[in-house]
Amino acid sequence: MRIAGFVKTTLQDWEGKNACMILLGGCNFRCPYCNRPDLAEGTGEDLDVSAVLRYIKENRDFLEAVVISGGEPTINADLYKLIADIRKLKVKIKLDTNGYAPDILDDLVGAKLVDKVCINIMAPLDAVSYSKAAGVEVDVELIRRSLRILDESGIAYEIRTVAVPGVITHDSFVKLLGDVDGSKSMIIQQFDPRVTLDPKMNIKPYPTPALVRMAETAKGFVERVRVRGL
């Protein structure tokens, strides 16, 4: 288990909650637009797990929640133990995931070890589009299964899509919306070109009106839509 980063307090990563965020190193995808190549490649910091748990314990008076993000948390063999240890501290837990490990997600949700999940949906759920977005060959059925698990679990979850020019067009976004039709919550995240896994992705983000148009379109499929990063 490599805790590759720790944010002591954030108000942005779980709306309405004062949270801290644990960033786990390593990822099974290689999204060219990834803003945290250090985390994707597992080269971030290597923090002491017990020190992080101690901080959470000692600051429970103002910390309501812990967000576990990455990288991709589900590739860490000790994730279950980490979450179980945080659970004992009586704080809420949100998991950020790319949805490529439905069995692990099913276990965590089934054992009620997480209170909320944010699942990154990068492209329409067809192999060509998704593999291009993820930078590796993707079996989209695994992601479909994760979406079904979340849908049937009754757990709070949100879809997060980064609006990357060249990865998502308005038309492909409409296809993506068809794959998540009926979901309760979606975040459309503005693309940040400052640091990217593939240096060639140093491209201009969509202008604000394009994201606002995407959000308007998304409202026909998803109950609640927010745009972040403008």
β-pairing verdict for 116-120 and 156-163 = parallel
With contact defined as beta carbons under 8 Å apart, do 72 and 98 qualify?
Answer: yes
> Which parts of the chain fold into alpha helices (H)?
37-40, 49-58, 79-87, 102-110, 127-134, 140-153, 170-179, 208-218
SS3 62: coil
* Binding footprint of ligand SF4, residue count (CB under 6 A): 12
Of 74, 98, 183, 189, which one interacts with ligand SF4 (CB under 6 A)?
98
Q: Which region, judged by CB under 6 A, interacts with ligand SF4, from 22-30, 109-117, 165-173, 176-184?
A: 22-30
Please say which residue, 31 or 159, places its beta carbon nearer to ligand SF4: 31
Q: Which two tokens stand for residue 78?
A: 């000790």
Q: Which region, judged by CB under 6 A, interacts with ligand SF4, from 14-22, 26-34, 81-89, 209-217?
A: 26-34
- Bridge partners (DSSP) of residue 142 are none
Q: Does 25 bind ligand SF4 (CB under 6 A)?
A: no
Least distance from C-beta 36 to ligand SF4, angstroms? 6
Of 30, 144, 175, 226, which one interacts with ligand SF4 (CB under 6 A)?
30
Of 31, 104, 164, 167, which one interacts with ligand SF4 (CB under 6 A)?
31
Least distance from C-beta 30 to ligand SF4, angstroms? 5
Using CB under 6 A as the binding rule, the residues of this chain from 39 to 68 that contact ligand SF4 are 39-40
Q: b/e string for 70-87 if b means 16 or more Cβ within 10 A? A: bbbbbbbeebeebbeebb
- Bridge partners (DSSP) of residue 228 are 189
Enumerate binding residues for ligand SF4 (CB under 6 A): 27, 29-31, 34, 36, 39-40, 70-72, 98
